[in-house]
A and B are shown apart, each in its own frame.
Chain A
Amino acid sequence: MKSKLLSVPYLIWMLVFTMIPLVMIAVTAFSDNNGHFSLEALASAFPYTHVFLKSLWIALLSTVLCLVIAYPMAYMVSQMRESTQNVVVMLLMIPMWMNFLLRIYAWVLLLQSGGPLDTLLSAIGIHGSYTNNTAAVIVGMIYEYLPFMFLPIYTVMGKIDKGLVEAAQDLGSNKSEVFRKVIFPLSIPGIISGITMVFVPSASTFVVAQYLGGTDDIMIGDIIDRIFFTNNHVGAAISLILMIFILIFLVLMNRFGDEEAIV
């Protein structure tokens, strides 16, 4: 009884700040300027299908690359002495204290022609600009979201019972078998939440492509931003479609991870 009472503020919070806005987006998406029911806005969202697909593709690629980088990193860090672990995790987190835009801006300066990377590569005769393309956008996204992949995996790995590793070793497993049969399966929940935490925000991100991409790199988040300037209905319709895509993704992840993914 008591716990029910305690949950009331959270329920009200969710109602006011999650459910009502969601309903408002849906209502806006399905109405026209006069407030009548209309599918026009939804139809106007269709020309942006390829931007949708490109955004999802960029998000997917960033997520996979984040995983490839973060997983071994998390494993190595979890094997260190505890005091070293704290320092390393701290160092990984410090950039996050800085404003997101500043960090993206720093990448623009790093990658532009005449920037540090260009200067370095010019020494061996390669000259050019490395910004204003899709690869630069992905680099920016990986940098932005890497901690969100690293942290859940690292936390899960830290919790793996050392006894299980020892038991496997006692039963004759070599290093790679210990990893394959003990550590990897037990770290799956971390991977799942890491993927969710990277994919969802990167699919809907904006500004990153505006700063690091070229004229062809516009993401669905930027389109929503732009459309909301003059037309709330089409903006809401695109947002709604994006939400449905993300929902489908989360449901799939949930299936895949035996209810361990966070939704």
Chain B
Amino acid sequence: MKKALTVVLCISMLGSFASLFAGCSKTDAGEVNVYNWGDYAAEGQYGLMNVIDEFEKETGIKVNYTSYETNEDLYNMLKNSNVSYDVVVPSDYMISKMIKEGMLLEINYDNIPNYQYINNRFKHLDCDPENKYTVVYQWGVTALVYDKTKVKNKPTNWDVLWDENLKGDILMFNNSRDAMAIAMQTLGITPSTCTKEDIDKASEKLRVQKPLLKKYVMDQVFTEMETSQSTIAPYYAGDIAMMMEENEDLDYCLPDYGSNLFYDAMCIPTCSKNKENAEKFINFMQKPEIAAENCKYLRYGCPNDEAIKLLDDEIRNNELTLPSEEYLDKCYVFGNLDPELYEYMQEQFVNIQAE
């Protein structure tokens, strides 16, 4: 009896192992493999719509939804393993790198009628000037969040992150691009066209800042700021809107000289085996009701003009979610960050932390 059970267990284990491999290669006509950032779509949270379920219901196409944490994870996955994804959502600088390396397929925009709703600012992106590969999904800017009970003078730009009076209570981006860009802006350098020398100057500036900092953080910034553990931090504006809902003492500042405008766009990688389904999915995500639902959850900028009309005034008028056109004109985009330069940036940033 026991033996029989063992045999059954072994077979079922082998079976599940085999199906694990099968899952990667087998693609039904009725499927779409979506590889998105973690927690980057409304999936029924706070009573909002589950947009993935909704897509499945409407089209009958099964969505295999998986997520990644960084652009580099996505890049390595596509580059080094034998996977098949149909929709991926890289950011600005990564899109240009992927286009250069021939990793993306041209999108047939005839299959994406909802593309007409996309704001012109988000067409012909710096990273995709001929507008062949991308449909912008979300965008945003970087901004400052601070505790107004502890910061007496209302900050106007990044300089406050070097304020000696706040020593030990300042948080900083634990991400080379964003940290370096902030340092460059304080030095009057435009980050999107920076050179190696500019990176060296920015590194020096960050070295000066290090003793004043409490920590380099990414996601930890939420608890740090929401529970008033720290006083000031730069972060993504959409997330700052979320923090401010949790803690009344918080206020925000959009640096007067502009900040980093970033965007993530839906693209179809060359390993796609269901291109038509991918286009259906991308189109569905730009349906005004669906895009509005995502915006309500994420609080990042929505590129879809029709969707913005569907939002409550509270969200639509929030400068953090939807900064004014004039402000966006002042912002810079990392549209074409040279991979070699980025590598240098990353190396210098690690060196600053290691010292």
What count of chain A residues pass the 8 Å CB interface test?
A: 24
Q: Contact check: which of A214, A215, A230 meets B72 at CB < 8 Å?
A: A230
- When A114-B229, A226-B346, A229-B72 are in contact, do A132 and B353 touch as well, CB less than 8 Å? no
- Which chain A residues in 87-129 approach chain B with CB under 8 Å? 108, 112-114, 129
Q: Contact check: which of A114, A215, A230 meets B347 at CB < 8 Å?
A: A230
Task: State whether the Cβ of B70 lies closer than 8 Å to any Cβ in chain A.
Answer: yes
Task: State whether the Cβ of B342 lies closer than 8 Å to any Cβ in chain A.
Answer: yes
Task: State whether the Cβ of B296 lies closer than 8 Å to any Cβ in chain A.
Answer: no
Residue of B whose beta carbon sits closest to that of A52: B354
Q: Is the CB of B350 within 8 A of A223?
A: yes
- When A112-B229, A215-B213 are in contact, do A48 and B342 touch as well, CB less than 8 Å? no
Q: Is the CB of B220 within 8 A of A227?
A: no
Query: Contact flags (1/0) for B318-343 with A, using CB distance below 8 Å?
Result: 00000000000000000000010011
Q: Is the CB of B343 within 8 A of A48?
A: no
- Which chain A residues in 130-185 approach chain B with CB under 8 Å? 132
Residues of A within 8 A of B215 (CB): 132, 214-215
Q: Is the CB of B351 within 8 A of A47?
A: yes
Task: State whether the Cβ of A218 lies closer than 8 Å to any Cβ in chain B.
Answer: yes
Residues of B within 8 A of A51 (CB): 354
Q: Is the CB of B216 within 8 A of A229?
A: no
Residues of A within 8 A of B273 (CB): none
Task: State whether the Cβ of B280 lies closer than 8 Å to any Cβ in chain A.
Answer: no
- When A48-B354, A114-B229, A218-B353 are in contact, do A231 and B347 touch as well, CB less than 8 Å? yes
Query: Contact flags (1/0) for B117-134 with A, using CB distance below 8 Å?
Result: 000000000000000000
Majority secondary structure, B binding face:
helix
Task: State whether the Cβ of A211 lies closer than 8 Å to any Cβ in chain B.
Answer: yes
Task: State whether the Cβ of B210 lies closer than 8 Å to any Cβ in chain A.
Answer: yes
Q: Contact check: which of B211, B220, B346, B351 meets A230 at CB < 8 Å?
A: B346
B337 to chain A, nearest CB (A): 11
A47, B350: Cα distance in complex, Å? 11
Query: Contact flags (1/0) for A7-51 with B, using CB distance below 8 Å?
Result: 000000000000000000000000000000000000010011011
Q: Is the CB of B354 within 8 A of A230?
A: no
Residues of B within 8 A of A48 (CB): 354
Residues of A within 8 A of B210 (CB): 215
Task: State whether the Cβ of B227 lies closer than 8 Å to any Cβ in chain A.
Answer: yes
Residues of A within 8 A of B214 (CB): 132, 214-215
A227, B347: Cα distance in complex, Å? 7
Residue of A whose beta carbon sits closest to that of B350: A226
What count of chain B residues pass the 8 Å CB interface test?
A: 24
A231, B350: Cα distance in complex, Å? 12
B234 to chain A, nearest CB (A): 15
- When A51-B354, A211-B220, A214-B215 are in contact, do A113 and B347 touch as well, CB less than 8 Å? no
A74 to chain B, nearest CB (A): 34
Q: Is the CB of B229 within 8 A of A231?
A: no
Residues of A within 8 A of B227 (CB): 112, 114
Residues of A within 8 A of B174 (CB): 210
A149 to chain B, nearest CB (A): 29
A210, B215: Cα distance in complex, Å? 9
Q: Is the CB of A231 within 8 A of B354?
A: no
Among A129, A214, A215, A227, the one with the most B-chain Cβ atoms within 10 Å of its Cβ is: A215
Among B72, B213, B353, the one with the most A-chain Cβ atoms within 10 Å of its Cβ is: B353
A231, B70: Cα distance in complex, Å? 15
A227, B345: Cα distance in complex, Å? 11
Residues of A within 8 A of B72 (CB): 228-230
Q: Contact check: which of B216, B220, B229 meets A215 at CB < 8 Å?
A: B216
A226, B223: Cα distance in complex, Å? 23
A210, B342: Cα distance in complex, Å? 22
A129, B220: Cα distance in complex, Å? 16
A94 to chain B, nearest CB (A): 25
Q: Is the CB of A230 within 8 A of B213?
A: no
Residues of A within 8 A of B349 (CB): 226
- Which chain B residues in 24-57 approach chain A with CB under 8 Å? none
Query: Contact flags (1/0) for A191-235 with B, using CB distance below 8 Å?
Result: 000000000000000000011001100100001001111110010
Residue of A whose beta carbon sits closest to that of B353: A218
- When A112-B229, A132-B215, A227-B347 are in contact, do A215 and B353 touch as well, CB less than 8 Å? yes
A173 to chain B, nearest CB (A): 48
A114, B228: Cα distance in complex, Å? 10
- When A112-B229, A113-B229, A230-B72 are in contact, do A223 and B354 touch as well, CB less than 8 Å? yes
A112, B225: Cα distance in complex, Å? 13
Q: Is the CB of B354 within 8 A of A47?
A: yes
Residues of A within 8 A of B353 (CB): 215, 218, 226
Q: Is the CB of B342 within 8 A of A230?
A: yes
- Which chain A residues in 66-104 approach chain B with CB under 8 Å? none
Residues of A within 8 A of B213 (CB): 215
Query: Contact flags (1/0) for B216-259 with A, using CB distance below 8 Å?
Result: 10001001000111000000000000000000000000000000
A44, B72: Cα distance in complex, Å? 21
Residues of B within 8 A of A229 (CB): 70, 72, 346
- When A112-B229, A215-B210 are in contact, do A231 and B351 touch as well, CB less than 8 Å? no
A42 to chain B, nearest CB (A): 15
Pairs across A and B, CB under 8 Å, 8 listed: A114-B227, A132-B215, A215-B214, A226-B350, A227-B347, A227-B350, A229-B72, A230-B339
- Which 7 pairs of residues, A with B, have the shortest CB-CB distance? A230-B343, A230-B346, A229-B72, A226-B350, A51-B354, A215-B213, A218-B353
Q: Which residues of B contact A (CB under 8 A)?
A: 70, 72, 174, 210-211, 213-216, 220, 223, 227-229, 339, 342-343, 346-347, 349-351, 353-354
